[in-house]
């Protein structure tokens, strides 16, 4: 296994705190579950791995990924002569860190960079766009938002409220108009006004409705045609409280749209943050932002290092309450 370096001190404290805070429920239940199996086993045998796999599945990591993690852990522990409690945790942490490392950042390498935001109804698209716009604006970028959810009543008004809060421009048409036409105008206006980041809000849609998915493709085609030099990021917004269902959504959206990243919302209200690991491991789509509340500044760029550190923060301490020097595991080899 390649060595995974987890940079604990390297991340900005504010960001780490926010992610920790947002992950509170996830990390509490993860730490409790992992801590309790670590305590209840004296040796690393097949029973231990069975329990661990079950625990990982209960932590919303998903069956396939839980099994991958256990296989990797088996392989790592076999290399050791004596398996101490701390080693099991460190190996587990490194395996998970390696799984979720990826292209978590959005590079604003083109002017404009276009971010199309898609997802099912109520996932948190419009709210995340408001937060994202404010975030880029405060970073000195010229931001414009396109109201391409022309379908849901009051969607345009809701987006306008967010763009006012964020202090950025909005391009909008009347409710019920063709979303592709607003996207077209947005592309033109972005060039005319020298915009750095163009963010497109889209209507909530079910991934199994073909005509709605075709509509997304049409919008993407317009962007490519009107802004051929621009990078198009398609961010899928997933509500983390829906757990493994969010992973199925990601799989299906990815079949029709070229999803380049995930915005995982509502992490503040759930213990299901483990889905971050299965999304990356099973679909190879990186999480790029996490939503940790309903306010303007409650969106954070995702950091794999901070996530793993937060997840294991409580676990590390648990075996320490026992006499660490006396407790070591025998590995069944």
Q: Which residues bind ligand GTP (CB under 6 A)?
A: 119, 121-127, 149, 152, 155, 204, 237, 265-266, 268-269, 291-294, 298
Distance linking the first and last C-alpha atoms of the chain: 19
Least distance in Å: CB of 312 to Mg ion?
35
Q: Which of residues 106-125 bind Mg ion (CB under 5 A)?
A: 125
Q: How far apart are CA 168 and CA 81, in angstroms?
A: 59
Helix (H) or strand (E) holding 47: helix 46-58
Q: How far apart are CA 212 and CA 252, in angstroms?
A: 13
Helix (H) or strand (E) holding 18: helix 13-22
Q: What residues pair up with 148 in beta bridges, in sequence order?
A: 202
Token output for 140: 């000195």
Helix H segments across 59-194?
63-78, 85-100, 125-138, 155-166, 179-192
Q: How far apart are CA 96 and CA 308, in angstroms?
A: 7
Select the residue interacting with Mg ion from 126, 128, 135, 234 (CB under 5 A): 126
Cβ closest to ligand GTP, residue 92 vs residue 168: 168
Selection from ligand GTP, Mg ion, none that 71 binds (CB < 5 to 8 A by kind) is none
Cβ closest to Mg ion, residue 77 vs residue 203: 203
Least distance in Å: CB of 94 to ligand GTP?
29
Cβ closest to Mg ion, residue 237 vs residue 275: 237
Q: Measured at CB, which residue is nearest to Mg ion?
A: 126
Selection from ligand GTP, Mg ion, none that 269 binds (CB < 5 to 8 A by kind) is ligand GTP
Least distance in Å: CB of 193 to Mg ion?
24
Pick the closest to residue 134 from 21, 291, 276, 12 (CA basis): 291
Least distance in Å: CB of 283 to ligand GTP?
20
Q: What is the 3-state secondary structure (H, E, C) of 181-250?
A: HHHHHHHHHHHHCCCCEEEEEECCCCCCCHHHHHHHHHHHHHHHHHCCCCCEEEEEEEEHHHCHHHHHHH
Selection from ligand GTP, Mg ion, none that 242 binds (CB < 5 to 8 A by kind) is none
Binding residues for Mg ion, rule CB under 5 A, total: 2
Cβ closest to ligand GTP, residue 111 vs residue 172: 172
Selection from Mg ion, ligand GTP, none that 306 binds (CB < 5 to 8 A by kind) is none
Least distance in Å: CB of 172 to Mg ion?
13
Q: Is 264 helix (H, G, I), strand (E, B) or coil?
A: strand
Least distance in Å: CB of 162 to ligand GTP?
8
Selection from ligand GTP, Mg ion, none that 292 binds (CB < 5 to 8 A by kind) is ligand GTP
Cβ closest to Mg ion, residue 125 vs residue 280: 125
Sequence-ordered list of residues with C-beta below 8 angstroms from that of 187, at least 6 positions apart, any chain? 114, 198, 222, 223, 226, 227
Q: How far apart are CA 264 and CA 292, in angstroms?
A: 9
Cβ closest to ligand GTP, residue 22 vs residue 319: 22
Cβ closest to Mg ion, residue 158 vs residue 316: 158
Least distance in Å: CB of 153 to ligand GTP?
10
Cβ closest to ligand GTP, residue 56 vs residue 156: 156
Q: Between helices 275-283 and 244-256, what is the axis angle to 10°?
A: 30
Least distance in Å: CB of 169 to ligand GTP?
19
Which residues contact Mg ion (rule: CB under 5 A)?
A: 125-126
């Amino acid at each position: 296994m390649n060595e995974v370096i987890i940079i604990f001190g390297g991340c900005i404290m504010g960001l780490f705190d926010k992610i920790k805070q947002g992950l509170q429920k996830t990390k509490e239940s993860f730490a409790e579950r992992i801590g309790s199996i670590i305590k209840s086993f004296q040796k690393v045998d097949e029973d231990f791995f069975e329990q661990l796999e079950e625990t990982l599945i209960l932590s919303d990591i998903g069956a396939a990924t839980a099994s991958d993690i256990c296989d990797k852990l088996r392989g790592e522990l076999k290399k050791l002569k004596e398996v101490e409690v701390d080693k099991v945790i460190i190996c587990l942490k490194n395996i998970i860190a390696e799984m979720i490392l990826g292209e978590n950042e959005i590079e604003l390498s083109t002017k404009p960079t276009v971010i199309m935001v898609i997802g099912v109804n109520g996932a948190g698209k419009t709210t995340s766009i408001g937060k994202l716009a404010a975030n880029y604006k405060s970073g000195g970028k010229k931001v414009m938002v396109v109201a391409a959810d022309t379908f849901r009543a009051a969607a345009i008004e809701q987006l306008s409220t967010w763009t006012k809060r964020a202090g950025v421009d909005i391009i909008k048409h009347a409710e019920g108009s063709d979303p592709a036409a607003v996207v077209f105008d947005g592309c033109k206006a972005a060039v005319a006004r020298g915009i750095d980041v163009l963010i497109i809000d889209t209507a909530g849609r079910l991934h199994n409705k073909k005509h709605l998915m075709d509509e997304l493709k049409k919008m993407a085609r317009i962007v490519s045609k009107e802004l051929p030099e621009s990078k198009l990021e398609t961010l899928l917004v997933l509500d983390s409280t829906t757990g493994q269902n969010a992973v199925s959504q990601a799989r299906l959206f990815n079949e029709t749209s070229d999803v380049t990243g995930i915005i995982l919302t509502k992490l503040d209200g759930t213990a299901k943050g483990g889905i971050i690991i299965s999304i990356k491991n099973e679909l190879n789509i990186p999480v790029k932002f996490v939503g940790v509340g309903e306010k303007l500044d409650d969106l954070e760029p995702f950091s794999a290092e901070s996530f793993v550190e937060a997840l294991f923060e409580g676990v590390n301490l648990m075996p320490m309450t026992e006499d660490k020097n006396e407790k070591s595991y025998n590995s069944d080899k």
